[in-house]
Structure 1
């Protein structure tokens, strides 16, 4: 198998894999914690600005009689060819009202720059917001919600080597956010086992990926 094909399959495997969450405490001093909370609030404000924009576009789309009629017809039509035609018409309307992932993603670029947010954090936030839009478009969601001030700080990045890079130092996990390096506090056997698994992957990622 050539490298290009292998990397494509591996990327698809990672995409379809379940998200695994390990909750741990950091060993950050209070001064660094304050910086993290400040950054999280910037991301929250930027996200709310994008939510406001996407919410406005979605509400305008939903108010059109043609879109509501197409949704109704799509829901009651059983013929596959007719459903495909209706789906294409719905997608065209979503494009015309800027209710698309591409518009959501590109709109976040200037917003992220406005709040001086790293591009990887801005993109991750845009993806979170788009998932909310998708629930409204294809699921049972009614509206896109704003993030409230005072909620637990949240900073996410999908790539292991960007945003908050993870590395191994002295056989321990080390994270880096900007110029701040920090580790984690392991409080029980379960956390230790999970941390050990992550360490194994980081030190032998090619072997683990090949086995997967």
Structure 2
């Protein structure tokens, strides 16, 4: 069953904020203690010859590996590497802090750590990290029956009673409060140099439909038809039968990026002037062997650090808001949304090969890490998939290596490789922007999700070309990214 989240501010007193901060810190220490305990068991487990032999014997075939996985899971249980074992470990720690942290919240702390281990044991994760001071900013329960509870517009948690600010005149909030509560999450955010506290209530079912207060019309409706998306590191091309668009992702966050660069430069100058003994003559940090380097932070440095923290919060909030709006816009075109499978984590990594250009200079190994961090295209796809799920649909991912949308020509059925710098296709005098054409082809993918439906392409091309030209006219004269090339 689907769930949805609604966030409400908490009306906290100063003493309640102190208690909440204390509980966040206790939870962080419980988490780190649990990392300590589980890491010892994990390292002992991976040292055993039997475990290493079983892991190396995996072939990737589900049928043949079934028995091997069973033996691997037995070893993991033997060494206490399971979520249930983590719950037993955290229970021993929680009883010392039972006045502040209830058993269900402690279990959720253990569950959060288990998710990190799952990435290592079953995915591509490499390491489990400790949480630094002040970095654990959310705590949640497992139900609304005990632990963190919501009742009569109040949050009840281990002796604390905190009023929740709910606007019942807001149609969305009023409708949400009629739904059954699954569990609650308390969150703190660093807003304008101070912590503010919120409760995120997780409700069962689909979210209420948003309505325009003036007209009474439904704000966001899902369309009916095919939509093709060609998503890049900074842009997205959208093709449907009603509109064609080429947009920059989260275009309002670039000014924040410029501010971040200036603040980081000030912070670097401050930390260098305050700690001259920690640097070599060439400006590199001195190696202290096994000794920890001690850094003194000036008041100016702490001020800039808080400014940077605020900018990161703003950037994340703006990016999420713009992605939510864009997702609503995309699904308004149709309920069948197609996109290529993309390995964004692979694009973030530096290039492995060392290459030279035509002039004999070494090529930069940097790739798209900064763009992906700023624009978060993967987050947009996750939001689209979540919103489609409310209507019983899901984002459909096509086979990138088989379809080759950027190379295909539907007029003659041929494939032609193009360099990244080639932003336009020329089909016998018909010029089409590369990303928009790829989105058009993706919209007309065949049922096998590996090839294109030529009949659909031919039937829809005239309409697409008309909408394409309108979009190109809109973009002419505007300040666009180099990848758009208009």
User: Is this a same-fold pair by TM over 0.5?
Assistant: yes
Q: Hey, what does 2:83 align to over in structure 1?
A: 101
Q: Hey, what does 2:17 align to over in structure 1?
A: 33
The yes-or-no answer on 1:196 pairing with 2:174 is yes
Q: 1:131 to 1:152 in 2, by over 3 A?
A: closer
Pair member with larger Rg? 2
Structure 1, unaligned runs of 5 or more: 1-12
Size of the aligned set, in residue pairs, is 181
Q: Hey, what does 1:73 align to over in structure 2?
A: 57
Q: Hey, what does 1:177 align to over in structure 2?
A: 157
The yes-or-no answer on 1:88 pairing with 2:66 is no
Residue 162 of structure 1 aligns to a residue in which SS? coil
Displacement of 1:37: 0.9
Structure 2, unaligned runs of 5 or more: 182-203, 206-486
The yes-or-no answer on 1:44 pairing with 2:28 is yes
Superposed CA RMSD: 2.5
Return the alpha-carbon distance in structure 1 between the equivalents of residues 21 and 66 of structure 2: 46
Q: 1:121 to 1:67 in 2, by over 3 A?
A: same
TM-score normalised by structure 1 residue count: 0.75
Return the alpha-carbon distance in structure 2 between the equivalents of residues 143 and 53 of structure 1: 15
**After superposition, where does 1:108-187 map in structure 2 within 5 Å?**
108-116=90-98, 117-168=101-152, 173-185=153-165
Q: 1:175 to 1:73 in 2, by over 3 A?
A: same
Return the alpha-carbon distance in structure 1 between the equivalents of residues 75 and 136 of structure 2: 37
Determine which structure has the larger helix proportion and give its number. Answer: 1
TM-score normalised by structure 2 residue count: 0.35
Given that residues 26 and 184 in structure 1 are in contact (C-alpha distance below 8 angstroms), is that contact kept between their aligned partners in structure 2?
Answer: yes
Does 104-113 or 55-64 show the bigger shift? 55-64
Q: 1:35 to 1:89 in 2, by over 3 A?
A: same
Residue 151 of structure 2 aligns to a residue in which SS? strand
Return the alpha-carbon distance in structure 1 between the equivalents of residues 35 and 172 of structure 2: 35
Q: Flag as ranges the 4+ runs of structure 1 deviating above 6 A.
A: none
